[in-house]
Amino acid sequence: MAERYKNIVILTGAGISAESGLSTFRSENGLWNNHRVEDVASVEGFARNPEYVHEFYNELRPLLFKAEPNSAHLAITKLQENYKAENISIITQNVDTLHEKAKSKNIYHIHGQINQIVCLNCGHIFETWGETHTDDACPNCKVAGMLKPNIVFFGENLLYMNEVDYLLNKCDLFISVGTSGVVYPAAGFVQIAYLNGAKTIEFNMEQTSNNYMFSEHIIGKAGTTLPKFIDELLK
């Protein structure tokens, strides 16, 4: 009989979406190879050239719209639907909606979502899979030139941090899937879980930088390793 866990947190990064055909950030053909991250994902970069940032996400949006969840996303949904626990939550750094498409629940997009736009004038957030441009007007306050993809840039605070803090302090199993562990504060989540006595497991193609906080490393493609692990848990 596999170990019983009551509160499970699953942190996901770009690697879980790789087998859905979406590029990760820091691989050889990574998303940021042709763009400086400081220009497309930082507060300063957006202030300097907002149209360049809008264009970067306009190019990316249709790819994410068309992408389908893979067996790793679907395995998480199977766990949520069949494992008797108090709570199984997903904290994702990904701005794609593949967890939603896999019909998972309790999803926290701490770095935002590519199909959401926020108005910096009135705070209104609306959804679109279409293009956005600097001089578009907000559908709520009608002010132009204040729209931004609802994506957390470097130098911006993360979303849902109160919920994340609660979940990390309560979990007895912390699973990290497909993240290089270089972006904070997400890269430090494992430490909070570990120091609270949770079992911590990393699913990746290789051991990552903060590996000393993981009690276990399951190396391989998440589309194969995660479903296998979850089937074991469900026995």
Bridge partner list, 174:
9, 200
Q: Which of 111, 124, 133, 217 is flagged as catalytic?
A: 111
Dist CA 179 CA 160 (whole Å): 19
Q: Does 206 bind ligand BV8 (CB under 6 A)?
A: yes
Q: In a 10 Å sphere around its CB, with 0-12 CB exposed, 13-18 middle and 19+ buried, how is residue 1 labelled?
A: exposed
Whole-number minimum distance, CB 86 to ligand BV8, in Å? 27
Q: Interacting stretch for ligand BV8, rule CB under 6 A, among 45-53, 137-145, 168-176, 179-187?
A: 179-187
Distance, in Å, from the CA atom of 22 to the CA atom of 14, rounded to the nearest integer, reads 8
In this chain, which residue has its C-beta nearest to ligand BV8? 15
Tell whether residue 205 is a contact of ligand BV8 (CB under 6 A).
Answer: yes
Known catalytic membership, residue 111: yes
- Crossing angle of helices 71-82/222-233, nearest 10°? 10
CA distance 175 to 108: 15
Q: Which residues pair with 61 in a beta bridge?
A: none
Among 9, 14, 22, 233, binds ligand BV8 (CB under 6 A): 14
Smallest separation (angstroms) from ligand BV8 to the CB of 69 = 13
- Residue 201 is a binding residue for ligand BV8 (CB under 6 A): no
111 lines the binding site for ligand BV8 (CB under 6 A) = yes
The enclosing H or E element of 33 equals: none
Residues that bind ligand BV8 (CB under 6 A): 13-15, 18-19, 24-27, 30, 41, 93-95, 111, 151-158, 178-180, 182-185, 203-206, 208, 221-222
Residues assigned a catalytic role = 111
